[in-house]
Amino acid sequence: MGDCRPLGFLLGLPFALIALVLSLVGAVIWVIGTVLSCLCPCCVCCAGLANLAMGIIKLPFKVLKWFTEQIPC
């Protein structure tokens, strides 16, 4: 499917590095949200915060996939 799209990978690399930094922030938020939801299980917002952080952690892969799909063969 994406054998002839190395240009999209190279163009998306700087944005993926920025997304990688954001994913590290997301990992910290996820750990904090998980600890808070364990300490106070009635706090629903902490579980939502942890789910949001998981989306942020997956961001670099989504960015690279989007950039490689934008470049035609």
Q: pLDDT per residue over 37-67, tens digit each?
A: 777 767 666 667 777 777 877 877 887 788 7
The letter for the amino acid at 63 is V
Q: Are 52 and 44 in contact (CB under 8 A)?
A: no
Please report the pLDDT score of residue 31 as a whole number: 83
pLDDT bin (cut points 50, 70, 90) of residue 5 is low
59: number of Cβ within 10 Å: 18
Tokens of 3: 């054998």
